[in-house]
């Protein structure tokens, strides 16, 4: 529990009340809960002038209740700030006797950004603290009260403007669209593999590829040229790592593949989670070269964490690309060694079925066994499929295109006389002339144009499609990544809390009731408070490693759109992290 290292020397005796006859001493679990609560309150109030003793005294008084402690200390801090501001105002009043009472009434609010480091704090009694990942404290707006009904500014939908998308989709006999997420430890060759596939399939011409070869060579990174097809920013190319989900598309004879190239570095794990949240299948890339497999898989590398995350996010079938086997002289023994270790882990530890784990040896840089077989020494012993053939054999899940629309937004940007959003249709369907509703901003928008799976000639899209929408009657600042667009007749709900079932991983220190954690759900990353209901169907105040628990989770930064996992799995599965480590995965069971 590294985030608690500042409080492990706290003397609990300083905060004990006078003992009553027969009163029990604190257990080790209660001592740990006290320390955890103090640390959480301190993190929450970062920048607020509150002493360590005041925090500890308050946490003790409220019996380790983080929420009550934070509210009390914020009110106390604001009172101090107000008193100080009042002194300044009185002093100015003495110096400027001719200033009118009306001017004094308009004096600056004592809780603005200039007041003792307290930023924009609203201390309504209904307010709850909200936590940003940068440590800055914000408060929810009092207008977002749980009991306030949603207001809707709805543009009336003309039914004659719409067509029956499900019928058109079924009659079109479309080629299946498959969403893949490509994951693996940093430098395993994910981006290079995808870039090489795109080149082999003709997605980029030889002249453009040669230009990239020259640019990479001139930068001293000649082996990165294929990766640069996806790693397009200057920082990604300079550092040689993918920093956010890079999206691309390629097409085989049997399927259309929408690809998310997830970051492999642990610093960008949120990008990996976002990329995997809506995927149908996963490709896990493993570096087979000497010592690199051991570093990425056996020595606390990202390969293991990625595998846990993939299964937790609902992915049930996986292809393991054993890359760089050419550097091992296409050794069958090395391939079998890696296959045995990884398959044992994926099946016994992570929970994949044996029939749903597939292994394919490749060389991303040379293109061997990606698209078609060549004269490589690999084929002296390997008789299995190429990577693309293995992917073509996967059977994609049925898409819920007749359900109410749920469209998750990945990005938002301004375009001439409209707003453009990119995202994925998780359920239902969308079309030109449709009126959409964004529950987060409580605004509606009119669909002017639809680009479906990179096809600009389309006018509609269904569940499973990646889309670019051109929207009218809405401003760019009224939408944000993580928002969910829906039909106004069946809007997604916006909630402050929900009941979930979670499964913990191997964690360093238990999760305590009242803990503050970071929740990842698609593109949404926000702090939450967790209250334990039961652990393995028994009452408990903490959750240890590899336990199943029923919990109540509360957002600490206002209301968020959310779906039940049984209604829309992609928008009802989430990951919980603490101090940079993944601690649990969960599904939404009930909206509160």
Confidence at residue 49, expressed as pLDDT on a 0 to 100 scale: 79
* Spatial separation of the C-alpha atoms in residues 358 and 352, rounded to whole Å: 11
Mind giving me the DSSP string for 117-178?
T--S----TT--EEE-TTS-EEE--GGG-TTSPPP-B-PPP-GGG---HHHHHHHT-PPPEE
* Spatial separation of the C-alpha atoms in residues 91 and 431, rounded to whole Å: 64
Closest CA to 197 of 276, 292, 280, 261: 261
Mean pLDDT of the chain: 80
Is 187 marked as a binding-site residue?
Answer: yes
Interval 142-169: pLDDT, tens: 334 444 445 555 566 777 789 999 999 9
Residues forming beta bridges with residue 590, ordered by sequence position: 499
The pTM of the whole model exceeds 0.75: no
* Confidence band for 184, pLDDT divided at 50, 70 and 90: confident
Is 326 marked as a binding-site residue?
Answer: yes
Is 325 marked as a binding-site residue?
Answer: yes
**Residue 90 predicted with pLDDT over 80:** no
DSSP reduced 3-state for 281: strand
Determine the average pLDDT of the residues in 98-109.
41
Of 33-42, 95-104, 535-544, where does mean pLDDT reach its minimum? 95-104
| Cβ atoms of residues 360 and 369 within 8 Å | yes
Q: Which CATH architecture has domain 398-487?
A: Beta Barrel (2.40)
Residues forming beta bridges with residue 283, ordered by sequence position: 182, 319
* Ranges assigned E (strand) in 266-326: 281-287, 318-323
* Spatial separation of the C-alpha atoms in residues 18 and 47, rounded to whole Å: 33
Q: List Cβ neighbours of 152 (8 Å cut-off, separation of 6 or more).
A: 437, 442, 444, 488, 491
* Spatial separation of the C-alpha atoms in residues 446 and 438, rounded to whole Å: 11
| Cβ atoms of residues 266 and 165 within 8 Å | no
Of 49-58, 130-139, 499-508, where does mean pLDDT reach its minimum? 130-139
Fold match between 398-487 and 494-591?
yes
Determine the average pLDDT of the residues in 49-58.
83
* Spatial separation of the C-alpha atoms in residues 301 and 296, rounded to whole Å: 4
Of 181-190, 202-211, 481-490, where does mean pLDDT reach its minimum? 202-211
Q: CA angle, corner 464, sides to 420 and 156, nearest 5?
A: 50
* Spatial separation of the C-alpha atoms in residues 156 and 446, rounded to whole Å: 10
Is 458 marked as a binding-site residue?
Answer: no
| Cβ atoms of residues 422 and 468 within 8 Å | yes
Report the percentage of the chain scoring pLDDT > 70. Answer: 75
Confidence at residue 439, expressed as pLDDT on a 0 to 100 scale: 92
Of 151-155, 225-229, 258-262, where does mean pLDDT reach its minimum? 151-155
* Confidence band for 223, pLDDT divided at 50, 70 and 90: low
DSSP reduced 3-state for 201: coil
More confident residue, 145 or 572: 572
| Cβ atoms of residues 529 and 513 within 8 Å | no
CATH of domain 494-591: 2.40.30.10
Supply 141's token pair.
Answer: 């707006």
Of 102-116, 354-368, 377-391, 437-451, where does mean pLDDT reach its minimum? 102-116
* Spatial separation of the C-alpha atoms in residues 36 and 59, rounded to whole Å: 10
Supply 444's token pair.
Answer: 């509606």
Is 353 marked as a binding-site residue?
Answer: yes
| Cβ atoms of residues 447 and 432 within 8 Å | yes
* Confidence band for 268, pLDDT divided at 50, 70 and 90: low
Please, how many CA atoms are within 13 Å of residue 409, restricted to the half-sphere of its CB?
25
Q: List Cβ neighbours of 551 (8 Å cut-off, separation of 6 or more).
A: 499, 500, 501, 502, 530, 531, 532, 533, 543, 586
Of 123-137, 285-299, 374-388, where does mean pLDDT reach its minimum? 123-137
Supply 373's token pair.
Answer: 């077989």
Closest CA to 280 of 260, 262, 263: 260
* Spatial separation of the C-alpha atoms in residues 372 and 516, rounded to whole Å: 50
Please, how many CA atoms are within 13 Å of residue 239, restricted to the half-sphere of its CB?
15
Of 63-77, 260-274, 382-396, where does mean pLDDT reach its minimum? 260-274
Confidence at residue 108, expressed as pLDDT on a 0 to 100 scale: 39
Q: List Cβ neighbours of 391 (8 Å cut-off, separation of 6 or more).
A: 178, 180, 252, 255, 257, 281, 283, 319
* Spatial separation of the C-alpha atoms in residues 552 and 521, rounded to whole Å: 16
* Confidence band for 555, pLDDT divided at 50, 70 and 90: very high
Q: Phi and psi dihedrals of 520, rounded to 5?
A: -115, 120
DSSP reduced 3-state for 545: coil
Confidence at residue 125, expressed as pLDDT on a 0 to 100 scale: 33
Is 109 marked as a binding-site residue?
Answer: no
* Spatial separation of the C-alpha atoms in residues 246 and 199, rounded to whole Å: 16
**Residue 269 predicted with pLDDT over 90:** no
**Residue 71 predicted with pLDDT over 50:** yes
Confidence at residue 6, expressed as pLDDT on a 0 to 100 scale: 37
Of 65-69, 256-260, 579-583, where does mean pLDDT reach its minimum? 65-69
* Spatial separation of the C-alpha atoms in residues 139 and 149, rounded to whole Å: 20
Closest CA to 389 of 202, 197, 226, 167: 197
**Residue 8 predicted with pLDDT over 80:** no
**Residue 457 predicted with pLDDT over 60:** yes
Helix axes 28-44, 52-61, angle to 10 degrees: 130
Interval 356-408: pLDDT, tens: 999 999 999 999 999 999 889 999 999 999 999 999 999 999 999 999 999 99
* Confidence band for 326, pLDDT divided at 50, 70 and 90: very high
Residues forming beta bridges with residue 497, ordered by sequence position: 554
Of 3-12, 33-42, 492-501, 566-575, where does mean pLDDT reach its minimum? 3-12
Q: List Cβ neighbours of 252 (8 Å cut-off, separation of 6 or more).
A: 201, 388, 391, 392
Of 212-216, 426-430, 456-460, 519-523, where does mean pLDDT reach its minimum? 212-216
Q: Phi and psi dihedrals of 309, rounded to 5?
A: -65, -40
Bridge-based pairing of strands 357-361 and 318-323 is parallel
* Spatial separation of the C-alpha atoms in residues 395 and 541, rounded to whole Å: 43
Per-domain residue ranges of the chain? 1-139, 178-392, 398-487, 494-591
Chain-centroid distance of CA 531 in Å reads 21
Measured distance between the N- and C-terminal CA atoms of the chain, rounded to whole angstroms:
30
- Say which CATH topology domain 178-392 has: Rossmann fold (3.40.50)
DSSP reduced 3-state for 302: helix
Confidence at residue 199, expressed as pLDDT on a 0 to 100 scale: 86
Determine the average pLDDT of the residues in 1-14.
36
Is 188 marked as a binding-site residue?
Answer: yes
The DSSP call for residue 51 is -
**Is the four-CA dihedral 497, 502, 505, 507 of positive or negative sign?**
positive
Bridge-based pairing of strands 460-462 and 435-438 is unpaired
Confidence at residue 489, expressed as pLDDT on a 0 to 100 scale: 87
* Confidence band for 204, pLDDT divided at 50, 70 and 90: confident
Helix axes 66-95, 28-44, angle to 10 degrees: 40
More confident residue, 77 or 52: 52
Confidence at residue 556, expressed as pLDDT on a 0 to 100 scale: 96
Is 324 marked as a binding-site residue?
Answer: yes
Confidence at residue 26, expressed as pLDDT on a 0 to 100 scale: 63
Of 34-43, 171-180, 237-246, where does mean pLDDT reach its minimum? 237-246
Of 53-62, 282-291, 422-431, where does mean pLDDT reach its minimum? 53-62
**Residue 94 predicted with pLDDT over 70:** no
Is 352 marked as a binding-site residue?
Answer: yes
Most confident of 26-35, 92-101, 267-276, 415-424: 415-424
Which residue do the tokens 């393995």 mark? 536
């Amino acid at each position: 529990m590294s985030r608690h290292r500042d409080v492990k020397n706290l003397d609990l005796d300083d905060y004990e009340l006078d003992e009553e006859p027969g009163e029990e001493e604190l257990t080790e679990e209660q001592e740990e809960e006290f320390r955890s609560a103090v640390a959480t309150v301190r993190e929450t109030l970062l920048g607020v002038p509150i002493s360590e003793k005041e925090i500890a005294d308050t946490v003790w008084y409220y019996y380790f209740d983080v929420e009550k402690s934070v509210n009390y200390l914020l009110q106390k801090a604001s009172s101090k700030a107000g008193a100080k501001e009042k002194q300044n105002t009185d002093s100015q009043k003495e110096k400027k006797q001719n200033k009118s009472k009306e001017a004094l009434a308009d004096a600056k609010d004592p809780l603005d950004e200039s007041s003792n480091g307290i930023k924009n704090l609203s201390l309504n009694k209904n307010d709850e603290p909200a936590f940003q990942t940068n440590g800055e404290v914000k408060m929810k707006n009092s207008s977002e009260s749980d009991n306030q009904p949603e207001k809707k500014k709805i543009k009336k939908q003309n039914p004659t403007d719409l067509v029956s998308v499900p019928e058109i989709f079924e009659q079109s006999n479309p080629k299946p669209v498959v969403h893949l997420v490509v994951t693996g430890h940093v430098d395993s060759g994910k981006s290079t593999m995808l870039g090489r596939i795109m080149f082999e399939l003709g997605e980029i011409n030889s002249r453009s590829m040669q230009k990239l070869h020259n640019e990479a060579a001139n930068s001293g990174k000649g082996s990165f040229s294929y990766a640069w097809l996806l790693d397009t920013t200057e920082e990604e190319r300079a550092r040689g790592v993918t920093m956010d989900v890079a999206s691309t598309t390629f097409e085989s004879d049997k399927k259309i593949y929408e690809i998310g190239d997830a970051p492999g570095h642990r610093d960008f794990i949120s990008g990996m989670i976002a990329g995997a949240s809506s995927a149908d299948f996963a490709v896990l890339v493993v570096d087979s070269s000497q010592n690199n497999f051991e570093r990425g898989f056996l020595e606390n590398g990202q390969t293991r964490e990625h595998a846990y995350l993939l299964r937790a996010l609902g992915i049930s079938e996986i292809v393991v690309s054993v890359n760089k086997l050419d550097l091992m002289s296409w050794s069958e023994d090395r391939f079998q060694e890696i296959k045995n270790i990884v398959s044992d882990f994926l099946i016994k530890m992570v929970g994949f079925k044996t029939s749903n784990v597939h292994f394919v040896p490749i060389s991303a840089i040379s293109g061997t066994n990606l698209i078609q077989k060549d004269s490589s020494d690999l084929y002296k012993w390997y008789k299995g499929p190429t990577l693309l053939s293995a992917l073509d054999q996967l059977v994609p899940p049925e898409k819920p295109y007749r359900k109410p629309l749920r469209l998750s937004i990945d990005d938002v940007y301004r375009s001439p006389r409209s707003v453009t959003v990119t995202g994925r249709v998780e359920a239902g369907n969308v079309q030109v002339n449709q009126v959409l509703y964004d529950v987060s901003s409580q605004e509606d928008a009119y669909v002017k144009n639809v680009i479906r799976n990179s096809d600009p000639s389309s006018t509609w899209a269904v569940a499973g499609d990646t889309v670019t929408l051109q929207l009218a009657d809405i401003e760019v600042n009224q939408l944000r990544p993580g928002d969910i667009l829906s039909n106004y007749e069946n809007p997604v709900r916006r909630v402050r809390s929900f009941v979930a079932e979670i499964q913990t991983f191997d964690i360093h220190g238990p999760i305590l009731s009242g803990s503050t954690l970071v929740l990842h759900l698609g593109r949404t990353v926000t702090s939450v408070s967790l209250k334990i209901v039961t652990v393995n169907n028994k009452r408990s105040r903490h959750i240890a490693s590899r336990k199943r628990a029923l919990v109540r989770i509360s957002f600490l930064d206002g209301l968020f759109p959310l779906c039940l996992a049984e209604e829309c799995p992609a928008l009802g599965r989430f990951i919980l992290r603490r101090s940079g480590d993944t601690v649990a995965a969960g599904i939404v069971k009930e909206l509160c």
